[in-house]
Amino acid sequence: MPWFDPETLNPDVPRREVFAWAMYDFANSGYTTVVLTAVFNAYFVGVVAADAPWATLAWTLALSASYLIGMLVMPALAAYADLHARKKPLMGLTTVGCVAATAALALVGPGDLALAIAAIMVSNVCFSAGVTLNSAFLPELARQEALGKVSGWGWSLGYLGGLLALGLGLGYVLWAQGRGLPATHYVPVTMLITAALFAIAVIPTFLMLRERALPMGQVTVGSVLRQSTRRLGHTLANIREFRDFGWLALCGLFYQAGLSVVIALAAIYAQQVMNFGTAQTMMLILTVNVTAAIGAFFFGYVQDAIGHKPALALTIIGWIVMVLVAGLTSGVAWFWLAANIAGLCMGSSQSAGRAMVGVFAPEHRRAEFYSLWNVALWLSAVIGPLTYGLVTWLTENNHRLAILTTGLYFLAGLVVLSRVDVRRGRQAARASAD
């Protein structure tokens, strides 16, 4: 099972280009791993907001606001990218924005709520937009029957990038703690490490990834929004033509609502419920990234072997098991088990969803369909963490009840997935492309 096997790629795609595409996942994963999952979220709650009763809710509100902005901006941006074949330049702009805003987090100290929220919102909007644009390259690179494998390569390489960022950050945290330095010293440094790694690791993407799409006609800047809105409106108005993509997007909204809770609140749960310290939390997330990389890589082959729908169903069932273990048990060993189940399912479910969109997207409208998919994911990222934050606020920080509530989203996703017909969805995409 070699990485970047030429047999899985389109005829004019060299292996080095797929590696360059996957390096975007490698580069940006440090942001989600260090900033959103392992370090800055807990730092925001415990240090910036001083463990206030509303701290977790404030964090989830900031993330929710950033995803709402993305929902409003990204569909038109992606339609513009399709019309003008400008995915790569736009991806460059969003990358610069994410790197700069991540570096700005190093300036945040106790009480700096406004700066922290502003930097998180800007970095997360830019990060999400970049991921959307990069995902739209996938069907240009991989054969239809190998979308699962190639998507899995990207996700698994991405988790290795998260491991590197987290490992470098953990090394510095342990060094700083050994010298008695406080979190207000070592957390800002980890933000700078994350931003620098993102900026360096993304260079191969912009040097080697080709923009194969061609512009669809000359349009003025003033007409871009009208054209984008018209195309998106047509797609939504005729969603019955792409009913299986619609069901998939609704499924993604539900199961990703639960997944986004794990990404945004894992460190907070570990520290508030399991009494983990910063170093122990980072070690936990590092281990989870190892299992996530393994899951993303091997499950791509499973997905292409058993089919997209059964593969995604398996990962959602795994998420339900994880929620039950985490919410109903109290031992540290059980928590580590739940965390590693989450790791295996995280890479697999994200890779499976991205590959299925590639199956259902018409050839000439890929960025648009990936944008609509990501609108569903952004809405899920609003609903999931916000639900968790509201439950903790209303129940005086009952994190166990909050995580069990999250399980309802995974269950709903599994029910909706049963409505998806992969063969029918593939035929609809081909008919639209003809």
Residue of 198, 142, 160, 178 whose CA lies nearest to 17 = 142
Euclidean distance between CA atoms 198 and 295, whole angstroms: 23
Which whole-number Å values give the CA distances from 419 to 302, 348, 427, in the listed order? 21, 20, 16
Residue of 102, 32, 4 whose CA lies nearest to 289 = 32
Distance of CA 167 to the CA centre of its chain: 20
3-class state of residue 85 by DSSP: coil
HEC per residue, 251-286: HHHHHHHHHHHHHHHHHHHHHHCCCCCHHHHHHHHH
Cβ-contact 166, 131 below 8 angstroms: no
Which residue is listed with tokens 């490698």?
26
Cβ-contact 339, 231 below 8 angstroms: no
Sequence-ordered strand ranges (E) for 137-237 = none
3-class state of residue 340 by DSSP: helix
Residues in the chain: 434
Entry pTM = 0.79
Give the pLDDT confidence score for residue 127 in this predicted structure.
Answer: 96
3-class state of residue 261 by DSSP: helix
Give the pLDDT confidence score for residue 221 in this predicted structure.
Answer: 46
In sequence order, which residues have a C-beta less than 8 Å from that of residue 184 and are 6 or more positions away? 47, 109, 110
**Tens digit of pLDDT per residue, the chain (434 long)?**
455 667 788 888 898 999 999 999 999 999 999 999 889 999 999 999 998 989 989 999 999 899 889 888 877 787 788 778 889 999 999 999 999 999 999 999 999 999 999 999 999 999 989 998 998 898 889 887 787 778 878 877 888 898 899 999 999 999 999 999 999 999 999 999 999 999 999 999 999 999 887 777 665 545 656 766 676 676 666 667 889 999 999 999 999 999 989 888 888 899 888 999 889 999 998 888 788 778 777 887 888 888 889 999 999 999 999 999 999 988 999 999 999 999 889 878 877 887 888 889 887 777 678 778 877 887 898 899 999 999 989 998 899 999 999 999 999 999 999 999 999 999 988 887 65
Cβ-contact 285, 166 below 8 angstroms: yes
DSSP class of 111:
T
150-176: buried (b, 16+ CB within 10 Å) or exposed (e) per residue? bbbbbbbbbbbbbbbbbebbbebbeeb
Tokens at 374, concatenated: 């990501």
Euclidean distance between CA atoms 429 and 246, whole angstroms: 12
Euclidean distance between CA atoms 307 and 295, whole angstroms: 16
Tokens at 86, concatenated: 């400008």
Distance of CA 332 to the CA centre of its chain: 27
Give the pLDDT confidence score for residue 339 in this predicted structure.
Answer: 92
Euclidean distance between CA atoms 283 and 33, whole angstroms: 12
Domain boundaries, the chain: 13-213+220-433
Give the pLDDT confidence score for residue 174 in this predicted structure.
Answer: 94
Euclidean distance between CA atoms 288 and 293, whole angstroms: 9
Tokens at 260, concatenated: 């986004």
The domain 13-213+220-433: what is its CATH number? 1.20.1250.20
Euclidean distance between CA atoms 283 and 278, whole angstroms: 9
| Element (DSSP H or E) covering residue 427 | helix 422-433
Sign of torsion over alpha carbons 8, 10, 11, 15: negative
Residue of 155, 129, 131, 169 whose CA lies nearest to 42 = 169
